[in-house]
């Protein structure tokens, strides 16, 4: 600041308004230094003019020392004006100015942890935390490093005045806003602002930083196209813009940065082709472009750039055959990361010539052929990941790569999961490096026994052999892996005992042996695994008691699944030791005794399944301690007594099944019991009351004298229902045309319902008017109507008997609906088989009306003509769970297995509360039924039909699982499996999703879910959000359901259990996020 004195000769006063302690007034023969006034850095004015225009407010008193000093100073200056040719100035030194710029930065920055407490005038600023000064220019700041100091706010522009600054590091803090202009920092070489919350970047802000060689803006919130003038930063050697939201194309001007060696644009939304200009950068050694939307081919200029050492293009949409000479043109390559693209053809054998390669990641592509034996030349190779391709090994020649890999003494990871490897695993697998930590062969076509040579791989921490056809007992080799953390042998044909030597694997955290033919007892030695978190021994033939050691010692276990075995005896009371347990599944065994009272101490338990056993006694009141419980299934046991009212106080309980026990008394009305669709209590003849929608009898007030009569009436109800079924069958099969008869009796399916005639149905629908037409199905039409007598809305399905198989469809649906009752199956009221007013045959089914239509109308914006109403992720998840539960009931809990055979969104109906119901059993099959388990042509609807139906036409529950997977994918991506034009030729919905799963699903999910499913929550937790995690898990389930080979699909029971777990986690994580984001 310059102030002029009003004297004859100009007197220039150069004032620094921030710090008077450095001022000196210069006269020809004397010096005067004023005292530094007491003031705070927050009160520094930018100029004389603004300081004197503050008014008379609160700043007056705060600035009083300043004003007094200025008054004294100006007085002295006025006196000095009498000296001829006198010139006075107040000049701050450069080093003091640097201190002032730093203090300005401090004042503009939030410092919650007081990281800058040393920044005060009592300490020389060159000793302040993070500050380095020049030796050649004492007091001048040359470097500022404040990484990881929890600083927040906008970056103060005053740092741009530190003109000798060469290094500025503010990474891993909470700075936000735009990158400020630093045009005075001519000497700046290193600028690190990564891992903050910056939202904008313009290269013009650095246009005068001609020496800038390192720029890091990674892990910020910058949302913009890549600046077209980015090439103006011509001195850059390293440029890191990864993990932002840059979009658009890579600007061709980037070729102007000729010194560039490191370029990272990973995990943005950059699209288009990789520009050929990148290949013109002569010194480029590391190119990281993964996690974008790049398409097309890799430019030949890039593949011929011999300077490249790291090429990371993972998770894009690149499609081409890899050049056969890639290993020759890129001789200095050390890492090749091309996973999760659409590369096809064979793996080039020339990669074995790139002798420095130690990372090869080609997973999730469409590569075919054999694995090159030339990989054996790569002595330093550490990671070889070829998972999820179509690589084959059909004979000894195809397996020779395994012999070659024995030369790779540093190999740590060998991933060959989900390929087309056939036959037995060669014994030469034991010749692989003892440094090998992860070995993956799951989801292949391996057969035979596991070779004993595998015991030599003593360094293994992960062994994945699941989903193959491996046979025989587990050999003694398993006890050799002392460092093993994860072992999965599920979905094979292993037999014999589970070896007790597994108990010596002290580092084991996950053990998966499900769906094999293991027999004998569960080894008590499993209790010796102190770090075991997940245990799955389900779907085997294990016998005997559950060992106490399993529960008494494994206090850290989170998942324990030993369902579908032949285990007997009681549930060990030591279960109370499992404090971290979230899922306990003991269902479908032969367990007896009472539910242990100690179970209530497992306060983290979220899923408890003990159904289909022989448990007896009361439901313990101690279960009120299970405050995290979301799913409880105690069905199909011998439990007695009343329902513990404490269950109604469990805040997160959303699914409760108490059906088919001997429970008595009144059903509670609070908590989960309010929701009839979430509660199942059928098969307990002593229960009464509860929510109206449970359709249970009212609890009578009876005297001892009439108690016997009451229970006699209760016993007669099922007999009456059976007689009604016989009468209905007679009407369906033996009803004849009679000219005098114009109506037939409508027999109720277990409910009181008035008899109505054909004319009643015609009147309810306006003589079957198009105005009341709800939809058309395979064998008829559905109308909405209101029965006058009953005064309720109904849906009337009228069969078009001129269509082939329509009459058989009616019989099939009646036969099936007579056998089933589930909260997620469309409630049928009655059936009608008669003649109409013209004397023609008439057949119809009458259902409860579902006011929210079907799932298809909601997924594809047809509901009530609205394009704004859509299903939330929570509603879609709940819908999927409802249908999975219904299918699980049909497949497992009916007298005879029922396959629906036509699962699709139009057959999924939604009630007032958006609860899902499965309907239309017109082509359902009773598995093993002589008349109904026959084909009526191709079963199902194109796009939803399981592939195997096109060959055999034989209905199966596997086909329903496939259809469910397609419906679930449709719910997630918002596209129909056939109507969308992109699903043509060889591209279908399944492989369309597979190409984007898991890293790019945000590109394909339904746009109406995109707001919920942002990949990263940009908060201090910086992690995947609950919605994205939920979608990812749902897609995993859907893809498991749609596997090509039926036996490889999950059972619908497993699907239902998995979906309930996903929903529970989603609810919990959503609540956690809401707390974190407050």
- The answer to the question of residue 857 being in a domain is yes
DSSP 893: I
Sign of CA dihedral 933, 937, 940, 944: positive
| 870 and 780 share one domain | no
Supply the pLDDT for residue 703: 47
Strand positions, DSSP E, 59-173: 131-133, 141-145, 152-154, 167-169
User: Can you list the pairs that 543-549 forms with residues at least 24 positions away whose Cβ atoms lie under 8 Å?
Assistant: 543/519, 543/567, 543/568, 544/520, 544/568, 544/569, 545/521, 545/569, 545/570, 546/522, 546/571, 546/572, 546/586, 546/591, 547/521, 547/522, 547/523, 547/572, 548/524, 548/572, 548/574, 549/524, 549/525
846-855 residue pLDDT tens: 888 888 888 9
- Two structure tokens written together for 762: 């015609």
- Residue whose token pair is 């620094």: 16
* CATH number of the domain within which 791 lies: 3.30.200.20
- The per-residue DSSP string of 439-493 comes to EE--SSEEEEPPPGGGGG-TT-SEEE--SSEEEE---GGGGG-TT--EEE--SSE
- Two structure tokens written together for 1017: 């929550």
Supply the pLDDT for residue 730: 52
- Two structure tokens written together for 403: 């012999």
122-137 residue pLDDT tens: 999 999 999 999 999 9
Q: Determine the Cα–Cα distance for residues 365 and 374; give it in Å rounded to an integer.
A: 20
Question: How far apart, in Å, are the Cα atoms of 513 and each of 609, 612, 648, 1049?
Answer: 19, 21, 36, 17
Q: Determine the Cα–Cα distance for residues 811 and 615; give it in Å rounded to an integer.
A: 39
- The answer to the question of residue 886 being in a domain is yes
Q: What is the helix (H) or strand (E) element at residue 994, kind and residue range? A: helix 989-996
| 802 and 947 share one domain | no
Supply the pLDDT for residue 1021: 36
| 1008 and 929 share one domain | yes
- Residue whose token pair is 């890039």: 302
Supply the pLDDT for residue 980: 61
Supply the pLDDT for residue 898: 85
Half-sphere exposure of residue 872: CA atoms within 13 angstroms, side-chain side: 7
165-186 residue pLDDT tens: 999 999 999 999 988 888 889 9
Supply the pLDDT for residue 721: 54
| 832 and 928 share one domain | no
- Two structure tokens written together for 884: 């999975």
Question: Choosing from 902, 920, 960, 999, which is the catalytic residue?
Answer: 902
* CATH number of the domain within which 951 lies: 1.10.510.10
Q: Is the distance from CB of 221 to CB of 244 less than 8 angstroms?
A: yes
849 phi and psi angles, rounded to 5 deg: -80, 135
Closest residue by Cα to residue 505 from 452, 449, 461: 461
Overall residue count recorded for the chain in this entry = 1078
| 792 and 855 share one domain | no
* Rg of the chain on CA atoms, in Å: 38
Closest residue by Cα to residue 1043 from 993, 986, 979, 980: 993
- The per-residue DSSP string of 16-75 comes to -TT-GGG--EE-SS-EE-PPPPP--GGG--S-HHHHTTS-SSTHHHHTHHHHHHHHHHHH
Q: Determine the Cα–Cα distance for residues 365 and 11; give it in Å rounded to an integer.
A: 78
Judged by DSSP in three states, 714 sits in helix
| 952 and 1077 share one domain | yes
201-260 residue pLDDT tens: 888 888 888 899 999 999 999 998 998 888 889 999 999 999 999 999 999 999 999 999
| 924 and 938 share one domain | yes
Residue 24 has pLDDT above 50, yes or no: no
For the chain, helix, strand, coil in percent to 5 are: 30, 20, 50
- Overall number of domains in the chain: 3
842-893 residue pLDDT tens: 888 888 888 888 898 888 865 444 444 678 999 999 999 999 999 998 898 8
- The answer to the question of residue 277 being in a domain is no
Confidence of residue 927 (pLDDT cuts 50, 70, 90): low
Q: Is the distance from CB of 479 to CB of 454 less than 8 angstroms?
A: no
Three-state SS string across 597-637, please? Answer: HHHHHCCCCCEEECCCCEEEECCCHHHHHCCCCCEEECCCC
| 836 and 871 share one domain | no
Instruction: Give the domain-ending residue among 796, 817, 849.
Output: 849
Closest residue by Cα to residue 226 from 244, 252, 206, 248: 248
Q: Is 621 annotated as a binding residue?
A: no
Rounded to the nearest angstrom, the gap between the alpha carbon of residue 691 and the centroid of all alpha carbons in its chain is 35
Instruction: Give the domain-ending residue among 24, 51, 80.
Output: 80
By the 10 Å C-beta count (0-12 exposed, 13-18 middle, 19+ buried), 986 is classed as exposed
Supply the pLDDT for residue 90: 42
- The answer to the question of residue 651 being in a domain is no
Q: Is 693 a catalytic residue?
A: no
657 phi and psi angles, rounded to 5 deg: -125, 110
- Residue whose token pair is 């005053």: 158
Write out the residue range of the structural domain in which residue 777 sits.
701-734+744-849
Supply the pLDDT for residue 985: 57
| 1038 and 909 share one domain | yes
Closest residue by Cα to residue 966 from 1048, 1049, 850: 1049
Residue 1017 has pLDDT above 50, yes or no: no
- Two structure tokens written together for 858: 């909601």
Q: Determine the Cα–Cα distance for residues 445 and 1076; give it in Å rounded to an integer.
A: 46
- The answer to the question of residue 972 being in a domain is yes
DSSP 321: B
| 838 and 870 share one domain | no
Residue 161 has pLDDT above 90, yes or no: yes
- Two structure tokens written together for 485: 């953390």
By the 10 Å C-beta count (0-12 exposed, 13-18 middle, 19+ buried), 295 is classed as middle
Q: How many other CB atoms sit within 10 Å of the CB of residue 87?
A: 14
| 863 and 951 share one domain | yes
Question: How far apart, in Å, are the Cα atoms of 330 and each of 238, 335, 352?
Answer: 21, 11, 11
Judged by DSSP in three states, 149 sits in coil
Q: Determine the Cα–Cα distance for residues 135 and 131; give it in Å rounded to an integer.
A: 13
Q: Determine the Cα–Cα distance for residues 315 and 365; give it in Å rounded to an integer.
A: 10
- Residue whose token pair is 């070729």: 255
Q: Determine the Cα–Cα distance for residues 269 and 228; give it in Å rounded to an integer.
A: 16
- The answer to the question of residue 1032 being in a domain is yes
Confidence of residue 68 (pLDDT cuts 50, 70, 90): very low
Share above pLDDT 70 across residues of the chain, in percent, rounded to a whole number: 80
- The answer to the question of residue 587 being in a domain is no
- The answer to the question of residue 696 being in a domain is no
Instruction: Give the domain-ending residue among 834, 849, 864.
Output: 849
Pairing of strands 517-520, 493-497: parallel
Residue 336 bridge partners (DSSP): 311, 360
803-837 residue pLDDT tens: 777 777 787 777 777 667 788 888 778 777 788 88
| 839 and 864 share one domain | no
957-973 vs 873-888: helix crossing angle, rounded to 10: 170
């Amino acid at each position: 600041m310059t102030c002029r004195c009003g004297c004859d000769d100009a007197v220039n006063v150069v004032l620094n308004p921030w710090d008077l302690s450095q001022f000196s007034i210069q006269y020809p023969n004397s010096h005067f230094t004023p005292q530094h006034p007491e003031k705070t850095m927050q009160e520094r004015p930018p100029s004389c003019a603004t300081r004197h225009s503050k008014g008379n407010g609160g700043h007056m008193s705060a600035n009083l020392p300043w004003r007094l000093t200025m008054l004294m100073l100006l007085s002295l200056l006025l006196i000095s004006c009498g000296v001829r040719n006198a010139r006075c100035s107040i000049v701050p030194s450069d080093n003091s100015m640097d201190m002032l710029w730093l203090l300005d930065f401090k004042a503009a920055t939030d410092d919650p942890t007081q990281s800058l407490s040393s920044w005060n005038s009592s300490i020389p600023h060159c000793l302040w935390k993070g500050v380095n000064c020049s030796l050649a220019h004492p007091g001048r700041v040359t470097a500022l490093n404040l990484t990881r100091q929890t600083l927040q706010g906008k970056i103060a522009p005053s740092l741009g005045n530190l003109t000798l600054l060469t290094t500025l590091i503010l990474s891993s803090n909470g700075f936000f806003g735009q990158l400020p202009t630093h045009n005075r920092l001519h000497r700046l070489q290193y600028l690190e602002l990564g891992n903050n919350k910056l939202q904008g970047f313009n290269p013009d802000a650095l246009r005068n930083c001609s020496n800038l060689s390192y720029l890091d803006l990674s892990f910020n919130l910058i949302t913009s196209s890549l600046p077209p003038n980015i090439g103006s930063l011509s001195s850059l050697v390293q440029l890191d813009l990864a993990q932002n939201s840059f979009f658009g194309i890579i600007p061709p001007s980037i070729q102007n940065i000729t010194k560039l060696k490191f370029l990272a644009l990973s995990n943005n939304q950059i699209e288009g082709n990789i520009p050929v200009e990148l290949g013109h950068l002569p010194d480029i050694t590391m190119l990281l472009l993964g996690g974008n939307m790049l398409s097309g081919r890799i430019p030949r200029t890039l593949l011929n750039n011999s300077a490249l050492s790291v090429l990371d293009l993972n998770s894009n949409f690149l499609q081409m055959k890899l050049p056969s000479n890639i290993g020759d043109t890129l001789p200095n390559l050390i890492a090749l990361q091309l996973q999760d693209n659409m590369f096809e053809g064979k793996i080039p054998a020339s990669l074995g010539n790139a002798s420095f390669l130690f990372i090869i990641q080609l997973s999730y592509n469409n590569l075919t052929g054999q694995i090159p034996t030339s990989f054996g030349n790569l002595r330093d190779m550490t990671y070889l990941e070829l998972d999820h391709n179509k690589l084959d090994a059909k004979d000894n020649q195809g397996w020779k790569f395994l012999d070659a890999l024995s030369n790779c003494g540093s190999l740590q990871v060998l991933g060959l999961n989900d390929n087309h490897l056939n036959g037995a695993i060669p014994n030469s697998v034991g010749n692989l490096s003892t440094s090998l930590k992860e070995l993956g062969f799951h989801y292949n076509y391996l057969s035979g026994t596991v070779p004993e040579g595998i015991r030599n791989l003593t360094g293994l921490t992960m062994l994945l052999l699941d989903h193959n056809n491996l046979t025989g007992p587990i050999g003694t080799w398993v006890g050799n892996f002392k460092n093993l953390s994860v072992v999965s042998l599920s979905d094979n044909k292993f037999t014999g005992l589970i070896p007790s030597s597994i108990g010596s694997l002290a580092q084991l955290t996950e053990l998966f042996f499900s769906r094999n033919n293991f027999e004998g007892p569960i080894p008590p030695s499993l209790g010796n695994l102190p770090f075991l978190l997940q245990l799955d021994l389900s779907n085997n033939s294990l016998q005997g008691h559950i060992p106490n050691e399993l529960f008494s010692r494994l206090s850290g276990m989170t998942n324990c699944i030993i369902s579908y075995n032949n285990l007997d005896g009681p549930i060990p009371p030591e279960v109370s030791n499992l404090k971290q347990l979230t899922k306990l599944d003991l269902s479908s065994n032969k367990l007896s005794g009472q539910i242990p009272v100690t179970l209530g101490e497992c306060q983290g338990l979220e899923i408890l399944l003990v159904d289909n056993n022989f448990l007896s006694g009361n439901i313990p009141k101690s279960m009120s301690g299970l405050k995290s419980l979301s799913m409880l299934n105690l069905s199909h046991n011998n439990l007695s007594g009343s329902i513990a009212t404490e269950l109604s106080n469990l805040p997160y309980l959303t699914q409760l099944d108490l059906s088919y026990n001997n429970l008595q008394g009144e059903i509670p009305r609070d908590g989960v019991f309010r929701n009839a669709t979430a509660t199942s209590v059928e098969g307990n003849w002593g229960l009464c009351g509860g929510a109206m929608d449970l359709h249970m009898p009212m609890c009578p007030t009876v005297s001892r004298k009439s108690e016997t009569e009451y229970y006699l009436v209760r016993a007669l109800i099922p007999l009456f229902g059976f007689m009604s079924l016989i009468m209905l069958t007679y009407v369906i099969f033996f009803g004849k045309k009679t000219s005098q008869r114009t109506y037939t009796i409508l027999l109720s399916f277990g409910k009181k319902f008035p008899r109505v005639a054909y004319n009643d149905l015609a009147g309810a629908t306006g003589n079957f008017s198009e105005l009341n037409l709800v939809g058309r199905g395979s064998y008829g039409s559905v109308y909405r109507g209101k029965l006058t007598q009953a005064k309720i809305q109904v849906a009337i399905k009228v069969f078009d008997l001129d269509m082939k198989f329509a009459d058989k469809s009616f019989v099939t649906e009646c036969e099936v609906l007579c056998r089933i009752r589930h909260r997620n199956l469309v409630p049928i009221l009655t059936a009608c088989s008669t003649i109409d007013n013209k004397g023609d045959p008439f057949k119809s089914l009458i259902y409860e009306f579902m006011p929210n239509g079907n799932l298809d109308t909601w997924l594809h914006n047809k509901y009530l003509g609205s394009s704004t109403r859509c299903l939330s992720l929570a509603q879609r998840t709940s819908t999927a769970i409802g249908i999975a539960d219904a299918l699980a009931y049909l497949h497992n809990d009916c007298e005879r297995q029922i396959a629906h055979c036509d699962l699709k969104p139009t057959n999924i109906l939604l009630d007032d509360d958006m609860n899902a119901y499965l309907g239309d059993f017109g082509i359902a099959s009773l598995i093993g039924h002589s008349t109904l388990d026959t084909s009526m042509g191709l079963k199902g609807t194109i796009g939803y039909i399981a592939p195997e139906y096109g060959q055999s036409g034989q209905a199966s529950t596997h086909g329903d699982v496939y259809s469910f997977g397609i419906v679930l994918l449709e719910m997630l991506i918002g596209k129909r499996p056939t109507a969308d034009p992109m699903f043509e030729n060889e591209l279908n919905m399944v492989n369309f999703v597979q190409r984007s799963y898991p890293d790019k699903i945000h590109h394909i999910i339904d746009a109406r879910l995109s707001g919920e499913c942002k990949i990263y929550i940009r908060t201090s937790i910086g992690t995947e959000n609950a919605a994205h995690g939920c979608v990812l898990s749902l897609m995993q389930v859907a893809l498991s359901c749609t596997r090509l080979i039926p036996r490889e699909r999950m059972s619908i029971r497993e699907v239902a259990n998995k979906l309930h777990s996903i929903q529970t986690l989603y609810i919990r994580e959503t609540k956690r996020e809401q707390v974190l984001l407050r």
